[in-house]
Amino acid sequence: MGRALYPGTFDPIHNGHIDIAVRASLLFDRVVLAIYDAPPKKLLFDTAERLQLAQQALAHLPNLEIVTYKGLTVECAREQKADVVVRGLRNVADFEYEQQIGWANGGMAPELELCCLFCSSDYAYLSATILKEVASLGGECGAWAPGHVLDALGRKFDRPLRSTAQKPYLRREDKLVHHD
Ligand code: ADP
């Protein structure tokens, strides 16, 4: 079902982002996860670091590739020949933001469709901001991101973080349904 662009800051990628990437990879033929190079917010990880963390987290998705981009998301979508922009929804606040930005993008690129996917309720409270804050204060965040992301956060904040997830995140095989 076409080619989707999944844009975001991914500073760093966490299990909520991965949840949406897995869902998108099952819905679309190709998914391009696009890491916004210079968002108007303070970053913990530089672009190369965010790319490497996302690549390692999503290496198991055969139809997903990762790029970085500068400038408008709609320009990136055109360059990547995407028909659809995918975004994740956690709550009403996300909905209002995505509706606003979706209409703005739709005005610039009417050919582009917006597809918002609900994340699992397990991650409905999770944001990269909360992950970084809890990690920086030495709180329990072991179930929120893959082990290599926790390691990278631990290095930034000079404290080891332990993975505690039983099932680290949604896997493709959890969602695959076989029809005989
Ligand atoms: P942005 O700065 O563009 O919002 P983010 O990296 O914060 O970039 O988020 C990228 C996308 O992932 C957005 O669509 C966002 O709604 C979604 N997202 C963020 N956190 C979660 C989560 N816990 N569960 C599902 N989707 C999420």
- For ligand 1, mutation pick of 87, 134, 144, 170 (most atoms within 8 Å of CB): 87
Distance between CA 175 and CA 160 in Å, rounded?
32
Distance 179 CA to ligand 1 centre (A): 32
Rounded distance between C-alpha atoms, residue 141 and residue 162, angstroms? 8
Residue 174 has pLDDT above 80, yes or no: no
Ligand 1 pocket (Cβ < 6 Å) reads 8-10, 16-17, 19-20, 39, 87-88, 90, 94, 119, 123, 126-128
Q: What pLDDT, in 10s, does the model give residues 109-166?
A: 999 999 999 988 889 999 999 999 999 998 889 999 999 999 999 999 988 777 776 6
Q: Which of 130, 38, 45, 150 minimizes the C-alpha distance to 90?
A: 130
Residue bearing the CA closest to ligand 1, atom 4: 8
How far is the centre of ligand 1, averaged over its atoms, from the C-alpha of 17 (Å)?
Answer: 6
Which three-class secondary structure state does DSSP give residue 30?
strand
Q: Choose the CATH number for 3-124 among 2.40.50.140, 3.40.50.150, 3.40.50.1970, 3.40.50.620.
A: 3.40.50.620
Confidence band of 179 (pLDDT split at 50, 70, 90)? low
Q: What angle do CA 144, 146, 151 make, to 5 degrees?
A: 100
**Distance from the alpha carbon of residue 51 to the mean position of ligand 1, in angstroms:** 15
CB 25 within 8 A of CB 31: yes
Between CA 22 and CA 58 the distance in angstroms is 9
User: Which atom of ligand 1 has the smallest separation from the CA of 87?
Assistant: 14
- Find the 87 Cα to ligand 1 centroid distance in Å: 7
Averaged pLDDT for residues 80-91: 95
Ligand 1 atom nearest residue 13's Cα: 6
For residue 178, pLDDT beyond 60? no
What pLDDT, on a 0 to 100 scale, did the predictor assign at position 38? 84
Q: Where are the domains of the chain?
A: 3-124
- Give a three-class secondary structure readout of 52-93: HHHHHHHCCCCCEEEEEECCCHHHHHHHCCCCEEEEEECCHH
